[in-house]
Amino acid sequence: MEIFLLDKTIVVVIVFLITLLIAMYSTWAERKVAGFIQDRIGPNRAGIFGILQPLADGVKMFMKEEIIPTQADKALFIMAPGISMLTALLTSSVIPWGSYLEINGRQVMMQITDINIGMLYIFAVVSTGVYGIMIGGWSSNNKYSLMGALRASSQMISYELALGLALISVIMMTETLSLKSIVEYQAINGWNIIYQPLGFLIFFICALAECNRTPFDLPESEAELIGGYHTEYSSMKLGLFLFAEYVNMFISGAIMSALFFGGYNLPFHEELSTVFSHNTLAILGTVSFMLKTFTFIFIFMWIRWTVPRFRYDQLMHLGWKILLPLAMFNVVATGTVILIKMLW
Amino acid sequence: MEKLTNRSKVVVKKEMTFLESIYLPAIFGGMWITLKHFFKKKPTIQYPEEKRPFSFVYRGLHILKRDEQGRENCTACGLCAVACPAEAITIVAAERKKGEEHLYREEKYAASYEINMLRCIFCGLCEEACPKDAVYLTEELVPSQYDRKDFIFGKDKLVQPLGTSAHPKTYKPYKK
């Protein structure tokens, strides 16, 4: 029992640290990608290729003066960035980062916990993610913040429906809610993207909206809402809000690669297992999982620096009138195919 | 009406076709363009380490030249000050004394020669007006200062240091 707890603690700490590290370097990567797409070089002064830029930014954020508006609801104002960050990080607990490692005859899962309602858990946590933004915007007692918070909450709620429906078809196929089982299902039957291209497209678009990324970054809208829900925030509280966005991006990239792109599975698993030991294979699987996730993060950034922002009515039109019916159609179509297969 | 160029397009608000209305082809087209830019060669010049060469006729900071024997060319005739459209040049003339022949080329010299760099527009008319080949505009930029008074450059900053005989266009007084 003690050994089990120790193993879990180590896994939790490692997952936590890696998530934060990747989120940190996503901020750097975002600026680099933005620079390269705009024919610039991006940050290159702090360290070689600007590799120390996130640290410099962190120091800057901590050293900045902290301003709390006098009319703000102080307790909620301080709580909001914490809630944002918390909900962003909580999701990482059910993501299967790899299969298991064999250490001294014990099997150490490379996943914090494999609960059998993993997908449901993710939905629950992701939908509470809107609270951080909403509370932050409301407690600032500022019109712009409130507008941003309103937009954020309506957007996240609208797109959650299509997101959920897109996943239901995946769950119908795999007949499980546990993420690990979904990944293992794909090891036998091939990647879900082959059977659910429409589902993936809907999920991807909704994931962009859930992360408040362009073209769905209306809650922030630097131009119209001067920052939206974090207008009044300064110092590291602002840093946490921005950071939560990158954590969310990483997590949704990980979820997409786990659900649709085979997670930590390697191609030619049988052939490879004769060459490498089990532990090497597990680590290779984790590396491939990370590579898939990074590809998604890159695509997120690539889209951000390509596509302009939606207008508010266009956003609602897309969410309710296009994505939701499409997702429903996808569920019905998947159900029909499954039914036909069962009857044969 | 006749058009000035053939670049203008007539905008028509027409119904989008199905492919246009799902946006995705257009978005992929846009992403293809940004991807091409991603791999383009960047035109950035890393400024403090790497400097772009100036044009040969660039007009920067002034220099008061000396002749081959190290004597100041300027005779304080004041033609540069008259030519200056910004009235940036102030000259006080003085007469050369006995024993100063190695310092000044002619009998009259500039006891003080001041250019206000905030007034100067770097037009180069002083250089053109000078009959004695004394004032030239180099490639050097005027360094920034904290005080207005520091922008009034006297002879200490303008006169070419002794022992140098560089061409005015390649002379870099601030490069160490």
Question: Tell me: the pLDDT tens digits for A23-74?
Answer: 889 989 999 999 999 998 888 888 888 889 888 888 998 898 888 888 888 8
A189 contact B CB<8A: no
Task: Tell me the pLDDT band of A277, cut-offs 50, 70 and 90.
Answer: confident
Domain positions in chain B are 62-158
Q: Are A98 and A14 in contact (CB under 8 A)?
A: no
Q: What are the Cα distances from residue B156, in Å, to A336, B64, B132, B162?
A: 91, 10, 20, 12
Query: How much is the pLDDT for B175?
Result: 45
List per-residue pLDDT tens for chain B, 176 residues long.
777 888 887 888 888 888 877 788 888 999 999 999 989 888 888 888 888 887 778 888 888 888 888 888 899 999 999 999 999 999 999 998 888 888 888 889 999 999 999 999 999 899 889 888 889 888 888 888 899 999 999 998 888 887 666 666 655 554 43
Per-residue pLDDT tens over the stretch A302-340: 998 888 888 888 888 888 988 899 999 999 999 999 899
Q: Which helix (H) or strand (E) holds B137?
A: strand B135-137
Helices (H), chain B: 18-21, 24-38, 79-83, 125-129, 155-158
Chain A residues 295-334 with a CB less than 8 Å from chain B: 302-303, 305-307
Contact B34 A40 (CB under 8 A): no
Instruction: Give the Cα-Cα-Cα angle B96, B102, B107 (nearest 5 degrees).
Output: 25
Give the H or E element holding residue A290: helix A278-304
- By CA distance, what is A38's nearest residue in B? B37
Q: Does A37 touch chain B (CB under 8 A)?
A: yes
Considering only CB atoms, which chain B residues are within 8 Å of A37? Answer: 34, 37-38
Per-residue exposure over B23-50, b if at least 16 CB sit within 10 Å of its own CB, e if not: beeeeeebbeebeeeeeeeeeeeeeeee
Residue range B62-158, CATH number: 3.30.70.3270
Q: Which residue of B has its CA nearest to A302?
A: B31
> Model ipTM?
0.79
Q: Which residue of B has its CA nearest to A310?
A: B23
Instruction: State the Cα torsion B104-B105-B109-B112 to the nearest 10°.
Output: -50
Interface test mutation site (partner A, options B22, B32, B33, B37, max chain A beta carbons within 10 A): B37
Other residues' Cβ atoms within 10 Å of the Cβ of residue A153? 18
Which residue matches tokens 């363009």?
A: B33
- Cβ contacts below 8 Å, chain A against chain B, sum to 30
Residues of A in contact with B33 (CB under 8 A): 306
Residue of B nearest to A322 (CA): B22
Whether the CB-CB separation of B135 and B127 falls below 8 Å is answered with yes
Domain ranges of chain A: 2-343
CA–CA dist A260, A293 (Å, integer): 11
